[in-house]
């Protein structure tokens, strides 16, 4: 029988504790609406007593969210609990999440309280919270480093005081799956009243085991998982919501449990949290990373083209990622290249295809990513049976405040060297005027863009140029330590592609000379 696992999102509370990850009220409201659309069961909206801003955020979210339970965090003190209750009061479904440390280390150095006093505090705090709201979650902070007998006593007291959810957090990411799961099994089997409450897992990722530990808890009786979008959280973060949800969905044979999460919104949520916090999502991040459904290896691409299940265990559409991406690079094979050509509208004869494929492999050895425009250019060259019609041989530019800015340019055009000196309104304009003087053409410069490839004053400049003559549009990029040289090469590169297209559609006659 399938059982539901409740998803408790703590992105706005534990996630916001990441240094630099603070969110504004408006951002929290937008995220709360998206989490509700995703059908998240419980939204931990903040720590109301921490600040006036946190209180207002929890209160405002409580007013607009109707389906998800709104939860506020509280320490075990009376003021904390009452402030939390006030913040979540407008919610259609509200919860107070109160906690206290239970490990010997925390009790001695953090709380400076005797164990019996801690047990008394658990009883009093849960009782107070239960008198204020219908749902009370109690957490044993640092539970995985707590003595097992003491943890059983603490959980029993919390249940008797009225807790409806018992959270056993791996606060410092110390545990591992077999050990963490055994804690839940022990508590559920040996604590009176354990069958009347929901047990919850809250795992940190200090050892990279947060998701594995959370799933182990489910296998041993936990029915709520506390997690965050993108695994956001203090230190190494929390268990990632998207990984938890998709693990439960994909591995139903081993994990016969389900969630209510609308998985097609996972990538949208990931991007929103990344934008709000400024924390980028690593490219190879599971489920939502840019490369999660990207394939460059020729062996993998060949398998994917025959049957996607050969190398993908889920469809990218199910997590909002769009289509599978066959990345064209040095590891791509003939099959993938031919499939890409077909998608771009090209069908080449064998010799032309082999020539274009070799050019592609040569280019892929020189740059990280080969874009569609690059491939179009390669195909145009192969189809027209030409090398570059125009090549930059030498460039000398005079610039500065005194002016005039001039460019002395040597080009090789159809094997013949030509040169000129031209002025311009700035050095780049002078360079482009020199190219136009040597190769008269009607193409209009639609795009000129420069950015540094790396950091520092010695960084290479990458220049992008797009030309249009009304019939064809071509673009090219070039890099060089000298921005003006890169500019000349990029312009000439785009011009070569324009020439190639014209020749291809005019029977092979030279378009420059």
Backbone angles phi, psi at 204, to 5 degrees: -95, 160
Superfamily the domain 3-277 falls into? Aldolase class I (3.20.20.70)
**What is the secondary structure of 421-461 as a DSSP string?**
EEEESSHHHHHHHHHHHHS----EEEEEEEEESSSSTTPPE
- Residues 6+ positions from 176 with CB-CB distance below 8 Å: 207, 209, 212, 213
Domain ranges in the chain with CATH number 3.30.160.270: 390-504
pLDDT confidence band for 511 (50 / 70 / 90): very low
Backbone angles phi, psi at 322, to 5 degrees: 80, -155
| pLDDT surpasses 70 at 93 | yes
- Residues 6+ positions from 345 with CB-CB distance below 8 Å: none
| pLDDT surpasses 70 at 220 | yes
Q: What is the pLDDT of residues 3-50, one digit of tens each?
A: 999 999 999 998 888 776 778 898 999 999 999 999 999 999 999 999
Structure tokens at 59: 């209160």
* Burial grade of 221 (CB within 10 A; 0-12, 13-18, 19 or more): middle
| CA-based nearest residue to 205, from 183, 186, 228 | 228
pLDDT confidence band for 320 (50 / 70 / 90): confident
| CA-based nearest residue to 484, from 455, 457, 461, 466 | 461
Q: Among the listed ranges 284-298, 333-347, 412-426, 481-495, which one has the minimum average pLDDT value?
A: 284-298
Own/partner pairs for 419-426, CB < 8 Å, 24+ apart? 419/394, 426/399
**What is the secondary structure of 336-359 as a DSSP string?**
HHHHHHHHTT----HHHHHHHHHH
3-class SS of residue 276: helix
| pLDDT surpasses 60 at 312 | no
DSSP secondary structure code for residue 204 in this structure: B
pLDDT confidence band for 475 (50 / 70 / 90): confident
Alpha carbons 154 and 107: distance in angstroms, whole number = 13
CATH class belonging to 390-504? alpha beta
Helices 52-64 and 78-88 sit at what angle, rounded to 10 degrees? 40
Q: CA angle, 25 as apex, 22 and 27 as ends, to 5°?
A: 70
Look over the chain and give the mean of its residue pLDDT values, rounded to a whole number. Answer: 86
Say what the pLDDT of residue 383 is: 46
3-class SS of residue 187: helix
Alpha carbons 220 and 145: distance in angstroms, whole number = 19
CB 32 within 8 Å of CB 11: no
Say what the pLDDT of residue 330 is: 67
| pLDDT surpasses 70 at 73 | yes
Strands 294-295, 224-227: pairing kind? unpaired
Q: Which residue has the higher pLDDT, 502 or 27?
A: 27
Domain ranges in the chain with CATH number 3.20.20.70: 3-277
Say what the pLDDT of residue 204 is: 96
Say what the pLDDT of residue 166 is: 98
Q: What is the pLDDT of residues 373-407, one digit of tens each?
A: 567 656 654 443 344 678 899 999 999 888 789 99
What element of type H or E holds 382?
helix 372-384
Place of tokens 């919390």: 158
- Cα–Cα distances (Å) from 120 to 84, 113, 158, 175, 209, in that order, read 21, 11, 10, 27, 33
CB 143 within 8 Å of CB 179: no
Strands of the 416-424 sheet, one edge to the other: 390-398, 405-413, 416-424
Alpha carbons 447 and 468: distance in angstroms, whole number = 10
| CA-based nearest residue to 490, from 361, 377, 329 | 377
- Residues 6+ positions from 15 with CB-CB distance below 8 Å: 21, 228, 229, 232, 233, 237, 238, 273, 277
pLDDT confidence band for 226 (50 / 70 / 90): very high
* Percent of the chain topping pLDDT 90: 57
CB 227 within 8 Å of CB 8: yes
What's the 3-state SS for 295-338?
Answer: ECCHHHHHHHHHCHHHCCCCCHHHHCCCCCEECCCCCCCHHHHH
* Burial grade of 170 (CB within 10 A; 0-12, 13-18, 19 or more): buried
Say what the pLDDT of residue 188 is: 97
* Percent of the chain topping pLDDT 70: 83
pLDDT confidence band for 192 (50 / 70 / 90): very high
Say what the pLDDT of residue 465 is: 87
SS3 content of the chain, % helix, strand, coil (to 5): 45, 20, 35
DSSP secondary structure code for residue 106 in this structure: I
Q: What is the pLDDT of residues 399-457, one digit of tens each?
A: 988 878 999 999 998 889 999 999 999 999 999 999 999 999 989 998 898 877 555 56
What is the mean pLDDT of the segment spanning 286-303?
Answer: 61
Dihedral over alpha carbons 257, 261, 262, 267 (to 10 degrees): -110
Say what the pLDDT of residue 374 is: 65
Say what the pLDDT of residue 318 is: 76
Say what the pLDDT of residue 113 is: 94
- Residues 6+ positions from 296 with CB-CB distance below 8 Å: 326, 327, 328, 329, 331, 332
Alpha carbons 32 and 44: distance in angstroms, whole number = 10
Say what the pLDDT of residue 339 is: 74
What's the 3-state SS for 208-254?
Answer: CCHHHHHHHHHHCCCCEEEEEHHHCCCCCCECEHHHHHHHHHHCCCC
């Amino acid at each position: 029988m399938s059982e539901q696992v409740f998803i408790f999102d703590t992105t706005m509370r534990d996630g916001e504790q990441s240094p630099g990850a603070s969110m504004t009220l408006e951002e929290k409201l937008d995220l709360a609406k998206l989490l509700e659309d995703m059908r998240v069961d419980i939204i931990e909206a903040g720590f109301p007593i921490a600040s006036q801003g946190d209180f207002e955020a929890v209160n405002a979210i409580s007013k607009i969210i109707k389906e998800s339970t709104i939860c506020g965090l509280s320490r075990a003190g009376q003021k904390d609990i009452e402030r939390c209750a006030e913040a979540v009061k407008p919610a259609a479904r509200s919860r107070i999440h109160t906690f206290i440390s239970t490990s010997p280390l925390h009790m001695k150095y953090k709380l400076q309280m005797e164990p019996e006093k801690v047990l008394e505090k658990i009883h009093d705090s849960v009782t107070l919270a239960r008198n204020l709201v219908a749902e009370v979650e109690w957490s044993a902070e640092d539970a995985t480093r707590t003595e097992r007998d003491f943890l059983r006593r603490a959980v029993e007291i919390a249940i008797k005081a009225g807790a409806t959810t018992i959270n056993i957090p791996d606060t410092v990411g110390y545990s591992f799956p077999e050990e963490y799961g055994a804690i839940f099994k022990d508590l559920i089997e040996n604590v009176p009243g354990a069958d009347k409450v929901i047990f919850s897992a809250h795992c940190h990722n200090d050892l990279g085991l947060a998701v594995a530990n959370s799933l182990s808890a489910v296998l041993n009786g936990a029915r709520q998982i506390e997690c965050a979008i993108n695994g956001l959280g203090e230190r190494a973060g929390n268990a990632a919501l998207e990984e938890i949800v998709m693990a439960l969905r994909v591995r139903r044979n081993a994990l016969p449990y389900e969630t209510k999460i609308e998985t097609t919104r996972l990538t949208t949520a990931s991007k929103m949290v990344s934008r709000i916090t400024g924390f980028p999502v690593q490219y190879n991040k599971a489920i939502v990373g840019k490369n999660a459904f990207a394939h460059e290896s020729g062996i993998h691409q060949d398998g994917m083209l025959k049957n996607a299940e050969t190398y993908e265990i889920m469809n990218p559409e199910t997590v909002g990622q769009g289509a599978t991406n066959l990345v064209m690079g040095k590891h791509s094979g003939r099959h993938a290249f031919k499939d890409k050509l077909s998608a771009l509208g090209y069908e080449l004869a064998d010799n032309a295809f082999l020539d274009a494929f070799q050019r592609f492999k040569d280019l892929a050895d020189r740059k990280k990513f080969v874009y569609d425009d690059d491939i179009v250019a390669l195909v145009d060259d192969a189809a027209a049976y030409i090398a570059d019609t125009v090549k930059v041989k030498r460039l000398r530019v005079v610039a500065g405040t005194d002016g005039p800015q001039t460019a002395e340019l040597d080009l090789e055009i159809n094997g013949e060297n030509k040169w000129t000196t031209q002025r311009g309104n700035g050095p780049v304009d002078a360079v482009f005027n020199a190219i136009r003087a040597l190769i008269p053409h009607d193409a209009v410069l639609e795009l000129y863009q420069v950015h540094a490839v790396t950091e520092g004053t010695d960084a290479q400049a990458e220049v992008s140029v797009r030309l249009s003559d009304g019939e064809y549009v071509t673009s090219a990029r070039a890099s060089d330590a000298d921005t003006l040289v890169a500019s000349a090469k990029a312009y000439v590169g785009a011009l070569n592609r324009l020439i190639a297209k014209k020749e291809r559609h005019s029977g092979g006659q030279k378009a420059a000379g």
